[in-house]
Amino acid sequence: MIELRHLKTLSALRDAGSLVEAAERIHLTQSALSHQIKDLEDRLDCSLFIRKTKPICFTSAGQRILTLADDVLPMIRNAERDIARLAGGEAGRLNICIECHSCFDWLMPTIDHFRQNWPEVEMDLTTGFSFQPLPALARGDIDLVVTADPEERNGIAYIPLFTYESVLAMSKQHQLVARRTIHPQDLEHQTLITYPVEQHRLDVFKHFLDPAGIDPDEVRTSELTVMIMQLVASGRGVSALPNWAIHQYIEQEYITSRPLGEKGVWCTLYAAIREDQKDSDFMVDFLNTAKEITFRNLSGIKSA
């Protein structure tokens, strides 16, 4: 009665929190996902979750199937990894470079999880703040670049990981707290705190300020998110950061945030890899693991 696709569907629905996002994650239309759930409910003759609740509230039957999914799906993924090793015998190398200062929040758990499943793959991690990582990727010096700035290059494929919103972080006493949304002109006389990255690569300049021809009064930099948060909380300036990177500080009521513009500034984070490694078993599994970890651990992100 219960099929593997049902377990994947209910697990995605729990993790995503909505039918729309769950459908995107498992590459179905919302109609097809709803039909699949209704089919299972008809087979079991009971409801699996309570409609029109946010977040989604599962019934006792739904919770039981989710427990089954949590037991079965990891076993299947582990078996698939073992079979891939037996079939291909891949040892391989995975040297990763990141262009994102706040990516450690999800990348380190991803690497830890991956190492347990692929101990024979040689791994290394570096940052791309002092050199050009994409040419190094093309040369074969590194194997994967985490970036929000895809550049068209022969032999390089960009795999979208997730989409996030860049929001303006500010102290709870800041004058802009009164605004529902932030407009470019609001930042003209502000001190903007950023990571030490070229301005044309920062979301707030590339997608928000530069198109409006606006420059803030002052730009100061800090390499660490926690230091930026301290500066923001003490009223030393404002900062545009990914929503998931500052979620914990907002929950702790350390700072507050507002969207940039009426529609928000949404950006996508990619894994850049060489085309010849696109179908490598360990590379495919690393990318799948990264997506699984990010959607489990990060708040406010969407499927890309």
- Predicted pLDDT at 200: 87
Q: What is the pTM of this model?
A: 0.73
Residue 89 has pLDDT above 60, yes or no: no
Residue 24 pLDDT > 90: no
Q: How far apart are CA 64 and CA 47, in angstroms?
A: 12
**Is-contact 2 68, C-beta < 8 A?**
yes
Which CA distances in Å does 16 have to 4, 24, 124, 295, 297?
Answer: 18, 9, 31, 8, 11
CB 238 within 8 A of CB 187: yes
Tens-place pLDDT, residues 142-171 = 999 999 888 889 999 999 999 999 999 999
Residue 117 burial (C-beta neighbours within 10 Å; 0-12, 13-18, 19+): middle
For residue 203, pLDDT over 80 is answered with yes
- For the cut 60, the answer to whether the pLDDT of residue 81 exceeds it is yes
- Residue 85: what pLDDT? 65
Residue 67 has pLDDT above 60, yes or no: yes
Q: What is the pLDDT of residue 130?
A: 64
Confidence band, pLDDT 50/70/90 cuts, at residue 90: low
**Within 150-280, where are the H helices?**
203-204, 210-212, 225-233, 247-251
- Model pLDDT for residues 230-286, shown as the tens digit of each residue: 999 999 999 999 999 999 999 999 999 999 999 999 999 999 999 988 888 889 999
Nearest to 123 by CA among 132, 135, 111: 111
Give the per-residue pLDDT at 204.
96
- Residue that wins the pLDDT comparison between 186 and 54: 186
**Angstrom distance (rounded) from CA 148 to CA 270:** 6
C-alpha span between 185 and 176 (Å, rounded): 12
Average pLDDT, the chain: 90
